Structure 1
Amino acid sequence: MAYGLLKGKTGIISGALNEKSIAWKVALRAKEEGAKIVLTNAPIAMRMGEINKLAEICEAPIIAADATSVEDIENLYIKSMESFGGKVDFVLHSIGMSPNIRKGKAYGDLNYDWFLKSVDISALSFHKFLQTAEKLDAINEWGSVVGLSYMAAQRTFPFYTDMAEAKAMLESIARSYGYRYGKLKKVRVNTVSQSPTETSAGSGIGGFDKFFDFADKIAPLGNASADSCADYVVTLFSDLTRMVTMQNLFHDGGFVNTGISEDVMALMEK
């Protein structure tokens, strides 16, 4: 059901790879709620994914951008504003990648060049999106920027290795830039810490299937789906959350505040 929450608003959605992507779901919901959007992803991700299909459904232009390149991000904002005929109201940062995880490196055997790449892609790119938008004055007052995070920024999960540090930095940037942008333009900046989700990126992590089941048994509401995450993100883009900023918001069915569940205790008794 649509409520017209984003009627008349414009936004940039990054990171939609395929139908499993949270960013893909957010794009569909934003369109359904009345927004005009621009889709963006890195050129290599665009070749690997199905973004053209999403663009057709959402009637949205695609502007390629390497999230580590300030020049590409500048071009993204400029062309988006040209497409919209004005500034942007919301931005989704759904970008994260670790070469160490992809290549099976253990936390005690990290390649530091790859580690820096993880941080650049997954966290510094968020700062670049924000700083570039500020310099171009690309986001309307009371606009909203949301980055997708994960609880490994606060708790240790062995399989998440250097991405944990990247997500911790992402959340810190949201606080620091949230203060700055709030004072300057009333733009709010938040991160959403989502449940383990069966996306292409998530399911590519070793042991993901076991942890997905564990989290589902811990959380009293179960794991939050990608669709429900999209619903939540859309509310953060809307005017209903104008006073919410500098927050890391857990969207995980209650996992973060549950020590142990009856379901997990029952498993231990077997």
Structure 2
Amino acid sequence: MPYSLLKGKKGLIFGALNDQSIAWKIAERAHEEGASIVLSNTAVAMRMGSVDELAAKCNSLVIPADATNVEDIENLMKQTMEHFGGKIDFILHSIGMSPNVRKGFTYDDLDYPNYHKTLDISAMSFHKILQVSRRLDSINEWGSIVALSYIAAQRTLYGYNDMADAKALLESIARSFGYIYGREKKIRINTVSQSPTPTTAGSGVMGFGGLLDFSERMSPLGNATAEECADYCITLFSDLTKKVTMQNLFNDGGFSSMGMSRSAMEVYNRNLDDCIDCK
């Protein structure tokens, strides 16, 4: 049920690809809560996905931009402000991709040009967006910026590969820029560490099905869905969270505070004899 939490607010959402995307769900919820939004993704991703369908549903403008390219971001920000006739109130960074994961390189045998691309696409793009936004003074005071993260930034999870490093960098950028933007403009910057979610990007992680099942068994409340992540992000864009900044916020059903659950232990015990030599 809508609560008009974002009535009159204007935002920019990066990363919506198709209706499996968390960014897609957030865009839908932002629209339901009264926000006007601009959608952006790379031209290639937009051809692969169905963002025009989302734009029609949310009455949104779509502006292609490569978030790793500073000139593209500058043009995007200027067009967005021109479209809205002024500054915006919130930004969502939902961008992540690892060529190493896609090509099957393991963490102990990374291709370094791919590694650089992972960090550039998944984390450095966040810094570029923030830096350009600050330079162009494109965000209203008490605005809110959210980037999507994952607990692999703090804990080693088999198969998450160099994306773990990217998420750790992403969260560090949120803290470092959060201080600067908060001090100068009262703008808050947070990351949301979401449960593993069956998106197009997430499903490419090695052993994703097992990871999804494990986290579901470990979490007292179960995995958070994309829709539930959208609900959480809406509160962070709203005025209800004006003093929350520089935080990595877990939306994971309690997984991040667990050591071992009864359900996960039962599965482990049933398979212990078969996996006695597994490491």
Deviation at 1:268, TM superposition (A): 2.9
SS in 2 for 1:146: strand
In structure 2, what is the equivalent of residue 251 of structure 1? Answer: 251
1:23-55 Cα deviation digits (max 9, x unpaired)? 000000000000000000011100110000000
* CA distance in structure 1 between the aligned counterparts of 2:268 and 2:27, rounded to whole angstroms: 41
Question: How far apart are 1:267 and its partner, in Å?
Answer: 1.8
Q: Which residue of 1 aligns with 2:69?
A: 69
1:1-270 → structure 2 map (5 Å cutoff): 1-270=1-270
For 1:15, give the aligned amino acid. G
Q: Which amino acid aligns with 1:36?
A: S
Q: State the distance in 2 between where 1:28 and 1:142 align.
A: 22
Conservation of the 8 A alpha-carbon contact between 2:92 and 2:147: yes
Q: SS at the partner of 2:146?
A: strand
Letter in 1 for 2:177: Y
Q: Report the Cα offset of residue 264 of structure 1.
A: 1.1
Secondary structure of the structure 1 residue equivalent to 2:143: strand
Whichever residue aligns with residue 108 of structure 2, its letter is G
Q: Distance in 1 between matches of 2:206 and 2:166?
A: 18
Give 2:146's aligned amino acid: V
Distance 1:8 1:201 in 2: 32
Aligned equivalents of 2:202, 2:161: Cα separation in 1: 13
CA RMSD of aligned residues (A): 0.6
Aligned counterparts of 2:40 and 2:5: Cα–Cα separation in 1: 22
Taking the aligned partners of 1:119 and 1:125, their CA distance within structure 2 comes to 8
Q: CA deviation at 1:269?
A: 3.4
Tell me the distance in 1 between the aligned counterparts of 2:218 and 2:243: 31
Identical aligned pairs, as a percentage? 63
**d(CA) in 2 for partners of 1:75, 1:257:** 42
- Which portions of structure 1, spanning 4 or more consecutive aligned residues, are displaced by more than 4 angstroms? none
Residue by residue, what CA displacement relative to the aligned partner does 1:210-239 show, whole Å, maximum 9, x if unpaired?
110010000000000000000000000000
1:206 shift after superposition = 1.8
Larger radius of gyration: 2
Tell me the SS of whatever aligns to 2:253.
Answer: coil
Number of corresponding residues:
270
List gaps (5 residues or longer) in structure 1.
none
CA distance, structure 1, for counterparts of residue 162 and residue 267 of structure 2: 31
CA offsets per residue over residues 179-218 of structure 1, 9 Å max, x none? 0000110000000000000101111112100110010000
* TM-score, length-scaled by structure 1: 0.99
Give how far 1:244 is off: 0.2
SS at 1:147 equivalent: strand
User: How far apart, in 1, do the equivalents of 2:112 and 2:268 lie?
Assistant: 39
